[in-house]
Structure 1
Amino acid sequence: MMVIEQSIYSSSQSTGTAQANLELPLSSPLHLSGRINTKALFSPDNQSQSGGFEFEIGVDEVGRGPLYGSVVVAAAILPKAWSGETEVGLLQDTPLAILTDSKKLTERKREKLFEPVKQHALTYLIVEVPAGVIDEINILQATILGMRVACEQLMIEITKVWRDASELPTAPSTPLGFKLLIDGNKVPDLDEARLATHGICLADMTVTQPAGMVKFCAEAWVKGDARHNAIAAASVLAKVYRDRQLIADGARYPGYGLEGHKGYPTKAHVEAIARLGVLPEHRRSFKPVQQAIEGTLADTHYS
């Protein structure tokens, strides 16, 4: 079992396409937490028919709309027998039988699934992108950055484990590959130069690639959290992680109601900002928070 716990100030000092216009390192750290079940990950049960390993990594985010707190991205790999399209019913009679899009589950059911998903996932990674980064590079770029870090770091950590377990690190006898399944309509640009330094490359049939390279491909899945089990697992991890954070912050900052509205721009939240002021974790690049700082906030505009 390998535990991942890191704070980083950039994804890699990236010069990738999506982030080429951003000044890195970032002023606020991204927090990463997760786990790799090394024994289960590379068990024969998870090998493909060809004898190699090709892991489906489900990726989802939560928290783009709130006025407060982090945007959270999660990535998860389920056992091969459980990873597939939701409609196939692979999770029937498993501890994750009720798993679906986290937005379709009650808060109680999401909480009930959180620990079983972490326990039974072969590996998972949660990336927290704080409000300071959102204000620095905007919410869209912050979400893309969180997805990039989740995808890149999980592939890198698994590849390290795989190579360490092989007696032939430059040409492992058991092939390894990844398929990234991104919730949404766009695949983030990954830092291929950074990945290449770890022996990971985008699968490309038009180019001759060195032997022993770990290959990956990526797909965007519109409403993927309701369509694929691995994305649904990531969705639950991201949602519950962020909700728990907001519940804890609600106790730290009484009167704002964070434990209820989870930072979203409800009328009660905007009224609380107008009455009590802006907190350090509020997103200053969002209009209602800007207006509160400027003294021009009109809470009647929000519901």
Structure 2
Amino acid sequence: MSIQNEVKDLIIPIDRKIQQIDIKSQYIDLAEPIHLYGQVNVTKLLAEYGINKEPHLNTQQHVERSTLQIGVDEAGRGPLLGSVNVAAAILPMTWAGLIEAQPLKDTPLSILTDSKQLSEKKRDILYPLVQQHAIGFVIAEIPAAVIDQVNILQATMLGMRLCTEVLLEIIAKHIATSMMQFEVLFDGNRCPNIDYVMLAKLGIETSKIDCQAWVKGDARHTSIAAASILAKVSRDTAMYMLDTEHPEYGIAKHKGYPTKAHIEAIEKYGVLPAHRRSFAPVRKAIES
């Protein structure tokens, strides 16, 4: 089927629930499923990364044109309540770069930067725009039960790994990857353990994947900043929904973080199923 003859872009939706996973070479059943959702715009992917479109390019130009960047970030490592959300985003090639170089100037994402530096109103404006203009994106919700099961660091790393692998898997199924390079930028000081064996079977060799950890990367790279918006707003949305179910906890205000009001609500009303039982204030409330 010819993509060029399609009126609309070809969109591959992502909607997966992961119940079993290998962590540190151990295959485990997760306490609750990890939900991943998003999409890849195959039409945009082919337009920007289709191989041999311009054979006149020299080697250096070809490398620049065939390097696909994925930004990955998380939201919600510190709260006592709810999921930690991880997101990955692939921006159009000319939009991906250092924020200070202003690659987003005169684009619909011109106000994009680290989500923590933006007002909630601006984050809410950017959230659908990132999804609309990204070549691909995926959001992972790692529930409190999994955080308690494997600890918050491993839960976050697991989310980063799954987001990266899902996007690379879909990319490998729709374009030739033999001459491509992949740059995966993670916010923070470490990279997750990617399943390179699985990706190699799909045609993406380990040598083709350059994983980089960037401390405060969401304030440096546009792709990480885009992922930070997706992670932050998706988590906040879940907190607002939980607030409507349990208004007495004031979740809309503290969003699960260990404020004085949140601690007092736990002491007064008890622990919710969505609370992270391995976190000290919640564990203390359970034990008291």
Name the TM-score, length of structure 1 as normaliser: 0.85
Q: Which residue of 2 aligns with 1:241?
A: 234
Shift, 1:201, TM fit: 2.0
1:62 aligns with 2:75: yes
Does residue 274 of the first structure (1) align with residue 284 of the second (2)?
no
1:224-239 matches, within 5 Å, as 224-239=217-232
Note the C-alpha offset of 1:140: 0.8
Alignment-derived partner of residue 50 in structure 1: 62
- Please state how far the C-alpha of 1:23 moved relative to its aligned partner: 5.1
Pick aligned residue for 2:147 from 103, 123, 134: 134
Q: Which runs of 5+ in 1 are unaligned?
A: 164-171, 204-214, 296-303
Residue identity in the other structure for 1:27: A
Distance 2:138 2:94 in 1: 20
Deviation at 1:188?
Answer: 1.4
Identity %: 50
Alignment correspondent of 2:86: 73
Instruction: Give the aligned partner of residue 9 of structure 1.
Output: 19
Matched, 1:84 2:84: no
> Number of residues paired by the alignment?
269
Partner in structure 2 of residue 93 of structure 1? 106
Q: In 2, Cα distance between the equivalents of 1:44 and 1:184?
A: 28
- Which amino acid in 2 is paired with 1:64? R
Work out whether residues 46 and 80 of structure 1, in 8 Å CA contact, stay in contact via their aligned partners in 2. no
CA contact 1:22–1:137 (8 Å) conserved in 2: no
Unpaired segments ≥5 residues, structure 2? 1-10, 52-56
1:70-219 equivalences under 5 Å are 70-162=83-175, 175-203=179-207, 215-219=208-212
Residues 258 and 22 (structure 1 numbering): CA distance in 2 closer, same or farther, change over 3 Å?
farther
Alignment correspondent of 2:276: 283
**Equivalent residue number for residue 257 of structure 1:** 250
Residue of structure 2 in register with 1:166 after alignment: none
Root mean square deviation, CA, Å: 1.7
3-state SS, counterpart of residue 271 of structure 1: helix
Judging by fraction of residues, say which structure has more helix: 2
Aligned to 1:212: none
Amino acid at match of 2:137: Y
In 1, the alpha carbon distance for the partners of 2:40 and 2:211 equals 21
Distance apart, 1:66 and its partner CA = 0.3
The more displaced of 179-188 and 45-54 is 45-54
Relative to structure 2, which stretch is displaced further, 145-154 or 232-241? 145-154
Tell me the residue number matched to 2:40: 36
Q: Deviations over 1:268-291 (max 9, x none)?
A: 001111111100000000011111
Residue 293 (1) aligns with residue 270 (2): no
